[in-house]
Amino acid sequence: MVAPKGYSNKQSAMLLGLGLDNKDGHKRVTKGENFYLVGGSEETHDHMVETAVKVNEKLAKKGKHLSEVSKEEFTDIIREASS
């Protein structure tokens, strides 16, 4: 992946999680090294956070950054992290 001029590759990839099942009016926002999670019920938001953390752990084990994995590898990592 080639980053736009003025940005490093590490800045060019980010997970964005958007939860739409919030009915309690609470605004949930969680930011991490390469993720930004917004909304959702408490359960949904917690699941998004857990998944994002597991994705980062799996990337660290591989010695890679999010911007360095192929679409296929990313899909595999997400499947493993969200189960």
pLDDT at 5 over 90: no
State pTM to two decimals. 0.81
Environment class of 78 (CB within 10 Å of its CB; exposed 0-12, middle 13-18, buried 19+) = middle
The answer to whether the beta carbons of residues 28 and 38 sit under 8 Å apart is yes
Which strands make up the sheet holding 35-39, listed edge to edge? 15-19, 35-39, 29-32
pLDDT at 47 over 50: yes
Q: Which has the higher per-residue pLDDT, 83 or 4? A: 83
Percent of the chain with pLDDT over 70: 87
Instruction: Report H helices in the chain.
Output: 42-62, 71-82
The residues spanned by each domain of the chain are: 9-82
Query: How many alpha carbons lie under 13 Å from residue 77 in its C-beta half-sphere?
Result: 23
